[in-house]
């Protein structure tokens, strides 16, 4: 009798668990397959070539950078640069924020090579009417180059990426304020602006 009960229990168990797929909840199955379809692969980071211009020696040191665009509020458009040296080590983070309502652009540099990753420079500029040319501040950095020459980058030069006049690209930005006393270097990024 005991063996008969065990056989019956075993057969019932096999029947219940073996046919669970026949009685599976179709809603759960659909939700699972829909979740799988919505999985999006991460976009591969595109690295671009730039340089650091050392003002005293007038030399350029190659670097790599990536950039991303984001919106922070109705009229605030942010371009974020992650800057790396040729050994793929992060050296700086550069954020360009355009406030479309006030016609102002602020570029902030955070230096990863200095303890605590401090902000080492903040440069600001405004415009009266947006246009597709470069604008900003030549400062002492670009003063020696003369008008129209690209030998020396500017203290802070930016350019809109499109005629929507929302996001800006950073053409060049000094890693410290021109009067800081620090050996002046300039990040030269979107030299061929518009990219």
Domain boundaries, the chain: 2-38, 48-188
Please report the pLDDT score of residue 195 as a whole number: 42
Please report the pLDDT score of residue 112 as a whole number: 84
Average confidence (pLDDT) over 2-9? 58
Please report the pLDDT score of residue 31 as a whole number: 52
Is the predicted pLDDT of residue 101 greater than 80, yes or no?
Answer: yes
The DSSP string of 84-136 is E-TTS-EEEEEEEEEETTTTEEEEEEEETTSTT--EEEEEEEE-SS--SS-EE
Q: Who has greater pLDDT, 191 or 185?
A: 185
- In 3D, which of 130, 118, 75, 119 has the Cα closest to residue 97? 75
């Amino acid at each position: 009798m005991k063996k008969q009960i065990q056989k019956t229990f075993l057969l019932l168990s096999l029947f219940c668990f073996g046919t669970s797929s026949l009685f599976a909840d179709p809603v759960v199955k659909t939700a699972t397959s829909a979740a799988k379809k919505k999985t999006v692969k991460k976009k591969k980071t595109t690295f671009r070539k730039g340089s650091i211009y050392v003002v005293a020696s007038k030399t350029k040191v190659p670097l790599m950078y990536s950039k991303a665009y984001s919106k922070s509020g109705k009229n605030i458009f942010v371009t974020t640069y992650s800057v790396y040296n040729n050994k793929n080590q992060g050296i700086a983070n550069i954020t360009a924020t355009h406030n479309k309502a006030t016609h102002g652009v602020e570029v902030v540099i955070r230096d990863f090579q200095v303890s605590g990753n401090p902000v080492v420079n903040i440069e600001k500029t405004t415009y009266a009417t947006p246009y597709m040319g470069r604008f900003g501040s030549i400062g002492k950095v670009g003063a020696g180059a003369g008008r129209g020459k690209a030998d020396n980058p500017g203290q802070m030069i930016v350019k809109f990426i499109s005629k929507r006049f929302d996001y800006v690209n950073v053409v060049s930005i000094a890693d410290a304020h021109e009067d800081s006393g620090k050996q002046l270097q300039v990040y030269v990024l979107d030299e061929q602006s518009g990219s």
